[in-house]
Amino acid sequence: MEISLVLNGKPITVEAPAHITLLELLREYLELTGTKEGCDIGECGACAVIMDGMLVNSCLVLAPQAHGSTITTIEGLCNADGSLSDLQENFITYGAVQCGICIPGMIVAAEALLAKHPTPTREEIRQALIGNLCRCTGYQQIVDAIEATAYARRHLAESVARA
Amino acid sequence: MSRFTYARAHSVEEAVALLSDPNEKSVPLAGGTDLLVNIRKAPPTFTRVVDVRRVPEMRIIEVREAQLVIGAAVSYTELAESALVQRYATCLAQAARTVGGPAIANMGTLGGNIASAAPWADALPPLICLDAHAHLRSVEGARSLPVAELVLAPNQTRLRANELITHFTLPLPAPDVQSVFLKVGHRIAQTLSRANLAAAIGRDATGRIATARLVVGTIVPVAQRFEEVESLLIGQHPSPQLFVEAAARAAEGLVRRVGRHWATEYDTRVLKALVVRALRATTAPSPTPEGV
């Protein structure tokens, strides 16, 4: 069946079977392999994307459910010129990336959080990452990177407002 | 994965018509957080899913004629964030906050939790505690029944094959009633319940307990009220001794219901702790009970 959606800011239409997941649609039919399959049952968060402004596990969304929706994947979260975003740079700076498999989901979850809560506490950051598992880092560095990004964005917003 | 087709319903009428189409074996699809996991465990027995997630009548949260009306396709996130649910169905808002993590809660729905009827369903004890009714629709018509009568056994409800839960209603609680939901899981977060409980306590002008509801889930085959604990509490002033007595009666009641088995020692110990915590939370002086 035909599935039309706005993907990373661009309207697209793709022909795909009705019984596949959004994850499979993204990776196999749209060749966007940034979103990862970690568990395929919605427990690890490696497949996280933003659908209609909400964090969702794409392995638990049936592809046709995305028809008519707006989706942002990890590929849509870098800067417009393709360079790494401030959040992505901080993930590197703060040592939050080891094997990398959880990272797209972490970035997506973090951006979903910061869109709703621009100044989260560390506890709120941890709550937002409940559905994202990391087997390498122990999470501290991930929380550090998100907290630092939120802080810097707020400072930038405040100095812009003052200017 | 076996093949099936997809149809999206834009109204309840369209949904029930699709569900009754004799050429397909159709099932409702809302958030998908149970259905998409189930089709990995066993090949689907259906040939088509009917997406009801965006049906407007199933997404409402409103007060109508002294009842709180909640659509079956309302998500856990919407339940947790709703001022009406927090106020009039506190234990349900608390339960909604404990389901999965943000990504699950954004998609999973109230109707889905009840229709799946897992033994560890977190929305079920609150709905029973609050005397909620489930409203069902099919091409044959509409019917409603108490949520307490909807679930027959683990993963088995009274829902007919072509029937859809459209919404739930519950009477607005009296102003003196405080409710709470508590959950013990294998993990702190993103976990199924190992034991859960919803309680609602109302007090009279002297401070005595006037109304009591205690609904235990997960460690019983189907979430159910423990009336023997409720009647022990009625007419009593809250006190630590009363809470301990109530906890002991709950543990006896559990053994009477399910017998003694390998998990009894754990289940009774956890149940007693949850009962005491629930009673403390619902009889605390401040109007906001403790959460999970």
Domains of chain A: 2-76 (3.10.20.30), 86-162 (1.10.150.120)
- pLDDT band at B188, cuts 50/70/90? confident
User: How much of chain B, in percent, has pLDDT values that exceed 90?
Assistant: 94
Q: Do B3 and A48 touch (CB under 8 A)?
A: no
Higher pLDDT, B24 or B285: B24
For B34, the closest chain A residue by CA position comes to: A60
State the alpha helices, DSSP H only, in chain B.
12-20, 35-41, 76-81, 83-88, 90-98, 102-107, 110-116, 124-129, 227-233, 240-258, 264-282
Q: What is the pLDDT of residue B292?
A: 45
pLDDT > 80? residue B289: no
Q: Do A42 and B4 touch (CB under 8 A)?
A: no
Residues of B in contact with A67 (CB under 8 A): 8
Cα–Cα dist B190/A42, whole Å: 10
Cβ neighbours of residue A29 under 8 Å, at least 6 residues apart? A14, A16, A20
For B44, the closest chain A residue by CA position comes to: A19
Q: What is the pLDDT of residue A80?
A: 93
Cα–Cα dist B9/A138, whole Å: 44
**Which tokens sit at B172?**
């607005």
Q: What is the pLDDT of residue B73?
A: 98
**Which tokens sit at B256?**
């009477």
Q: Quick one: which of B67, B176, B157, B47 has its CA closest to B113?
A: B157
Q: What is the ipTM of this complex?
A: 0.96
pLDDT in tens, B5-61: 999 999 999 999 999 999 999 999 999 999 999 999 999 999 999 999 999 999 999
Q: Which A-chain residues 134-163 have CB contacts (< 8 A) with chain B?
A: none
Q: What is the pLDDT of residue B1?
A: 52
pLDDT in tens, A22-37: 999 999 999 999 999 9
pLDDT > 90? residue B287: no
Residues of B in contact with A41 (CB under 8 A): 37, 40
pLDDT > 80? residue B2: no
pLDDT in tens, B173-183: 999 999 999 99
Q: What is the pLDDT of residue B290?
A: 52
Q: What is the pLDDT of residue A163?
A: 84
pLDDT in tens, B131-172: 999 999 999 999 999 999 999 999 999 999 999 999 999 999
| Residue type present at position B184 | V
What average pLDDT does the structure give for chain B? 96
Cα–Cα dist B114/B124, whole Å: 6
For the whole prediction, is pTM greater than 0.80?
Answer: yes
pLDDT > 90? residue B288: no
| Exposure string for B143-167, b = 16+ CB within 10 A, e = fewer | ebeebbebbeeeeebebeebbbbbb
Q: Do A64 and B51 touch (CB under 8 A)?
A: yes
How many secondary structure helices (H) and strands (E) does chain A include?
5, 5
To probe the interface with A, which of B190, B191, B192, B292 has the most A CB atoms within 10 Å? B190
What are the phi and psi torsion angles at B71 (to 5°)?
A: -65, 150
| Residue type present at position B241 | Q
Q: Are B133 and B219 in contact (CB under 8 A)?
A: no
Report which secondary-structure segment, H or E, holds A128. Answer: helix A122-128
**Which tokens sit at B196?**
């859960």
- Low pLDDT (below 70) residues in chain A: none
- Domains with residue ranges and CATH for chain B: 5-51 (3.30.43), 56-171 (3.30.465.10), 178-282 (3.30.390.50)
- pLDDT band at B286, cuts 50/70/90? low
